[in-house]
Structure 1
């Protein structure tokens, strides 16, 4: 029988109503009391490193979770992390970079409603996650939610209240789960080569900056002392505006000359960036040799940049690592 470690971190799944609104209150050991049938296929042990609304999760918690998995990696066949939904996609992406080449499944799950309510998605999501964590063909970091298994780097929360809160962006779901039956769309465990790798550094000095019409490019000047890298969410397939007295170009040059990272992404969820299409993108990409995110999610982009800058700031090595696929995070690449 498979042995699974349930890692409880708070979130809606473990919340209860208080005078000030929902807040994590249900202890880790209590979660399993609401789930029936898992004893048939796995043995579960529980640990609770912290109990937080996921709004309060930050990179330090990602490192803590990765270290916890590393410390128990040889003791369990799989791991299930109960987590709040609001930053779940960031956590799953971060863990994809902090724990690589894992032949064991690392599942992140949660719920849109607390597990102790009469009508809730929590019990199904948790039971599905335990099923997947005990599945021989499962591996790596995935989100299990609403009957879908989504690669940790491809998930995005697209609905704030519905049970089907998460979508797989620019990539198929890994599998679906219906009544305990797992149907794989991507069955690639045999492609995992080499030993599992754990990483222990993230650089938190990364900013995601969303463009809006009329934005003053000099805002980058104010950010310069505080960040080692900025990811600019451009419009459409990607580009930067020129507003005469409010230019972006000089600030991009300043960041680049100082050895700081400037990267281009898109605000559009589906289909990705392609800066070569329009003059507003092609010219600045060629002049500054800017990198772009192509089909990556913003959550994966932010956490991957934090991970790489935690390892190196050398431009050539950064580019190589960024365009190297990790847990299905990028399909369109360039070197």
Structure 2
């Protein structure tokens, strides 16, 4: 008989960890050490559950790279004691946080499942219970005595996604997330069904876990819009110590082909600022040179982000900028799928 999987819940903050004080009607942070009392159904899961909470819960709007490192260090300290991790964060920035964690951990052999909720755990119609119960069940799922999932994922409203493929699409619907360019890894209905052919396959079973805690935050997202002025673009590209730009373009990577715009992009690249082109569209891919309005960008050396999300692109940019790569290597790594974040060309 095999031992029960040990699952660690890490609560960083967010709606899921709030309960209502019925005397004051105010929301207050929930004590996750009492989780079984609040959700007795967890006792039916065939696993041992422990929890750790941030001393001060972080609202998702205050999430930053310092907290990414805090999350990582808790995983690192507990990696050998637990078989899977469920990370609870605010949903507003969950796609950014989970994408970043996916790049900061290499040779991951265990599940890290991010989840949260649209309503607090103590609310009558809450989605928190189902999201939490199923996330724990997924983290504890094993096949041939090995974890079914060995990557960073995000679970919300009956679907498990690869974390670095997700975007929050609704502030009001329970189905708050989507993964437009990659199918769901699992679906929870009457049965919990894994799409095993879509899962990340770990090749390096004996490789040691590598945790990278350094990210370069001198980056910016520049979203184009009709009427954007030279003054605005110039001001952004001339930010002190800027190292990288995620350029959110139209359609399949198109941008103004006016001389002033291309000149500013060219100058930025000459100043060793990495410029990555991602699409503003919810789905689809950047194909530089497909239309005349992206030929100029391609010629200047702008890096096509293929079908990466903006959330994953900014995380990957912060990660790769910390690696002191040559221009050629940077481009190769950015356009290569490192954690399943880009579809193979």
> Which residue of structure 2 aligns with residue 46 of structure 1?
51
> Which residue of structure 1 aligns with residue 336 of structure 2?
324
2-structure distance, mates of 1:54, 1:33: 26
Q: How does 1:63-142 map to 2 (within 5 A)?
A: 63-136=69-142, 137-142=148-153
> Which residue of structure 1 aligns with residue 16 of structure 2?
13
> Which residue of structure 1 aligns with residue 172 of structure 2?
161
Classify 1:166/1:175 alpha carbon distance in 2 versus 1 (closer, same or farther; 3 Å): same
Classify 1:253/1:78 alpha carbon distance in 2 versus 1 (closer, same or farther; 3 Å): same
> Which residue of structure 2 aligns with residue 267 of structure 1?
280
Query: CA offsets per residue over residues 133-162 of structure 1, 9 Å max, x none?
Result: 101112110001101010011111111111
1-structure distance, mates of 2:121, 2:322: 37
8 Å contact kept, 2:69–2:213: yes
2-structure distance, mates of 1:92, 1:253: 32
Tell me how many residue pairs correspond in the alignment: 329
8 Å contact kept, 2:257–2:294: no
8 Å contact kept, 1:115–1:121: yes
8 Å contact kept, 2:306–2:335: no
Unaligned runs of 5+ in 2: 143-147
> Which residue of structure 1 aligns with residue 32 of structure 2?
28
TM-score w.r.t. structure 2 length? 0.89
Classify 1:126/1:216 alpha carbon distance in 2 versus 1 (closer, same or farther; 3 Å): same
> Which residue of structure 2 aligns with residue 182 of structure 1?
192
2-structure distance, mates of 1:120, 1:99: 32
Q: Are residues 1:170 and 2:170 paired?
A: no
- 2:319 alignment partner, SS class: helix
Classify 1:83/1:176 alpha carbon distance in 2 versus 1 (closer, same or farther; 3 Å): same
2-structure distance, mates of 1:316, 1:242: 25
Unaligned runs of 5+ in 1: none
- 1:153 alignment partner, SS class: helix
